[in-house]
Amino acid sequence: MSIDAGSIPVAVIGSGNIGTDLMFKVMRVSEKLRMGAMAGIDPKSDGLARAGRLKIATTHRGIDGLVELPEFADIKVIFDATSAKAHVRNAEIAREHGKLMVDLTPAAHGPFVVPPVNLDEHLDAPDVNMVTCGGQATIPIVAAIARVAPVAYGEIVASISSKSAGPGTRANIDEFTETTSEAIRLVGGAEVGKAIIVLNPADPPIVMRDTVFCLVEGVDAGIDEDEIAASVQRMAESVREYVPGYRLKQEVQFDAIDAFVPALGRTVTGVKVSVFLEVLGAGHYLPDYAGNLDIMTSAALRTAERIAELRGWVRA
């Protein structure tokens, strides 16, 4: 396939907070993608109104309306920012038309992708899943630890402002915990994973904060805590390349552990590694405290750009 020296057109399905923020990221951040169309189901949504003012093709008939737009023929990537339930049908239609689907819902319909961990493993997949906001923030850290020492158990707690949790986020809470827990294992490399999300009603709103707890076995066999800390730092720097507001709140903490872990059904002897994170949003559309949404749209953008490069759609 010939390489486009400029950018390729993409579509966003879902005109809520995530979809609208993604639209602005495509327009302001990406040199490889450009907005071709936005689809929603609420004709009065702010996202569709803004897209219309920016002269972007729009429809309020969801993916059915999207495929009828003249611009659809040139679309190569569709970002799905709807819901886990709606994504199944959206993905089927995208596949029928040969479009790459980047899924920002917790549907787990396609393979999990966390850009600095496993993006290049799924470049040929027709539908890639961005896990969840908590997953994008914390799974890189679990993976960084697992690269140095075996992680028997990984637990993450994502605390976000209730004001940054829209109807879609609230409707998908169960999917959030299930999808993130599974991805901690499959992508992060933990033997067992657990995810918790906290919607904090504090006013003024809090910035997204995440805590990662990993139970590491075998430290007494020669695994160096300094090596674990260095691996975590390198991973944080990798994430910060596409999420500038991502940072470690303090140094990595280590505590000896020798205890029975119910989730594993056995005693773990080693070290509990604790990592504390903060994610400040870029403020492209949403307030900067909405780092939970910003990290999702940033990860989706990075994923689509990389796949477009390696499929020969744009220059690397």
Q: Is 110 known as a binding-site position? A: no
User: Residue 261 forms beta bridges with which residues?
Assistant: 266
Q: Is 165 known as a binding-site position? A: yes
Cα–Cα–Cα angle for 279, 206, 79, nearest 5°?
Answer: 50
Q: Is 111 known as a binding-site position? A: no
Helices (H) and strands (E) in the chain, counts: 10, 12
Q: Is 166 known as a binding-site position? A: yes
Contact 173, 180 (CB under 8 A): no
Whole-number Å distance between alpha carbons of 183 and 274: 19
Q: Is 167 known as a binding-site position? A: yes
Q: Is 90 known as a binding-site position? A: no
Q: Is 118 known as a binding-site position? A: no
Cα–Cα–Cα angle for 310, 311, 316, nearest 5°?
Answer: 40
> Which tokens hold the place of 6?
């400029």
Taking alpha carbons only, the member of 203, 207, 202, 194 closest to residue 264 is 194
Q: Is 180 known as a binding-site position? A: no
Q: Is 209 known as a binding-site position? A: no
Residue 53 CB coordination number (10 Å)? 8
Q: Is 172 known as a binding-site position? A: yes
Q: How far is CA 184 from CA 9, 11, 187, in A?
A: 32, 29, 6
Taking alpha carbons only, the member of 79, 93, 100 closest to residue 18 is 79
Of the residues 26, 37, 114, 133, which is catalytic? 133
Whole-number Å distance between alpha carbons of 109 and 105: 9
User: Residue 279 forms beta bridges with which residues?
Assistant: 208, 246
Q: Is 164 known as a binding-site position? A: yes
Q: Is 168 known as a binding-site position? A: yes
Cα–Cα–Cα angle for 270, 273, 275, nearest 5°?
Answer: 180
DSSP 196: E
Contact 192, 264 (CB under 8 A): yes
133 included as an active-site residue? yes
Binding-site entries: 15-18, 164-172, 292
> Could you give the residue numbers annotated as active site?
133
Binding-site entries for NAD(+): 15-18, 164-172, 292
